[in-house]
């Protein structure tokens, strides 16, 4: 790809700015007798992402906050844990509001990208309230131009509509946007399919299975400092 054609940078939120691995410790702290927090955490995330994609298909949009709660209940029950609603709510609030675990490279790395003259936007399935907590926790208020929520169009990733909406909101031709996303490839594939250039954030030490369904990302980066180096 030609990085000179990039005029705006968009970034994913959870698994890209926020380390979702923090779910494991919170689950262990709140669920008595939990033997395999890693498996429960993985199922929790997989389930709420699956709900989001099903919601697209059956016109059953719900705020992401609700889907996270539904996914948590499913994951716990699937593993034999009957956890009261109040406890589940506390787990969800701790992970996604009160104690967000922000990757170390986020604040300074994205700050460098903004200093290069790029407008940076968060594009997320998260609800507006969730994104307010994220921006505050990551100290990005004076760095990112805005946070764009799926709630604005009631469409979740990887549907093209949310990326097209992001292009409209940023007033940028979609082909001039570079979208950076970590974790699985779903968001990278969605952004690429919609017409964006893409960067997959693969931080050192992360081990994820190879995925081959969609298009390869244009860049594979180790974090936001790496992206700033390439854009510089």
CATH number where 12 lies? 3.40.50.1000
3-state DSSP call for residue 132? helix
106 neighbors 134 (Cβ within 8 angstroms): no
- 114 and 41 belong to one structural domain: no
- 162 and 180 belong to one structural domain: yes
Query: Where are the alpha helices (H) located in 34-185, listed in sequence order?
Result: 37-58, 64-78, 85-93, 106-115, 128-137, 160-170
For range 77-82, the mean pLDDT: 96
- 38 and 76 belong to one structural domain: yes
Among 98, 128, 154, the domain-final residue is 98
- 39 and 148 belong to one structural domain: no
Going from the C-alpha of 96 to that of each of 13, 69, 130, the distances in angstroms are: 11, 11, 7
Domain containing 217 equals 3-19+102-231
For range 190-198, the mean pLDDT: 98
pLDDT at 207 > cutoff 90: no
- 50 and 162 belong to one structural domain: no
Domain count, the chain: 2
- 58 and 135 belong to one structural domain: no
pLDDT digits (tens, 9 = 90+) for 46-73: 999 999 999 999 999 999 999 999 999 9
3-state DSSP call for residue 8? strand
- 209 and 122 belong to one structural domain: yes
- 129 and 222 belong to one structural domain: yes
Q: How many CB atoms lie within 10 A of CB 205?
A: 6
pTM greater than 0.75 (yes/no): yes
- 36 and 86 belong to one structural domain: yes
80's tokens: 């034999």
CA–CA separation, 107 and 11 (whole Å):
12
CA–CA separation, 37 and 206 (whole Å):
18
pLDDT at 172 > cutoff 90: yes
For range 111-121, the mean pLDDT: 98
- 137 and 181 belong to one structural domain: yes
CATH number at residue 29: 1.10.150.240
- 12 and 109 belong to one structural domain: yes
For range 26-48, the mean pLDDT: 95
* DSSP string over 154-176: T--TTSHHHHHHHHHHHT--GGG
For range 153-182, the mean pLDDT: 98
Among 65, 98, 131, the domain-final residue is 98
For range 138-151, the mean pLDDT: 98
pLDDT at 169 > cutoff 90: yes
- 191 and 205 belong to one structural domain: yes
């Amino acid at each position: 790809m030609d990085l000179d054609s990039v005029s705006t940078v968009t970034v994913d939120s959870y698994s890209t700015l926020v380390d979702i691995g923090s779910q494991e410790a919170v689950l262990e702290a709140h669920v008595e007798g939990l033997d395999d927090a890693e498996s429960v955490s993985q199922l929790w995330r997989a389930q709420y992402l699956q709900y989001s994609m099903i919601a697209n298909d059956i016109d059953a949009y719900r705020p992401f906050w609700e889907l996270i709660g539904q996914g948590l209940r499913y994951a716990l029950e699937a593993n034999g844990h009957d956890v009261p609603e109040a406890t589940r709510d506390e787990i969800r609030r701790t992970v996604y509001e009160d104690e967000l675990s922000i990757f170390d490279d986020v604040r300074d790395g994205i700050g460098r990208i903004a200093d290069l003259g790029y407008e940076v936007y968060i594009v997320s399935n998260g609800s507006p309230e969730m994104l307010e907590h994220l921006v505050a926790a990551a100290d990005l208020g004076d760095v990112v131009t805005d946070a764009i929520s799926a709630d604005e169009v009631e469409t979740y990733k990887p549907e093209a509509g949310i990326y097209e909406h992001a292009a409209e909101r940023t007033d940028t031709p979609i082909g001039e946007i570079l979208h950076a996303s970590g974790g699985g490839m779903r968001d990278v594939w969605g952004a690429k399919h919609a017409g964006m250039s893409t960067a997959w954030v693969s931080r050192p030490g992360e081990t994820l299975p190879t995925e081959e369904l969609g298009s390869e990302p244009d860049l594979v980066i180790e974090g936001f400092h790496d992206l700033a180096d390439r854009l510089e």
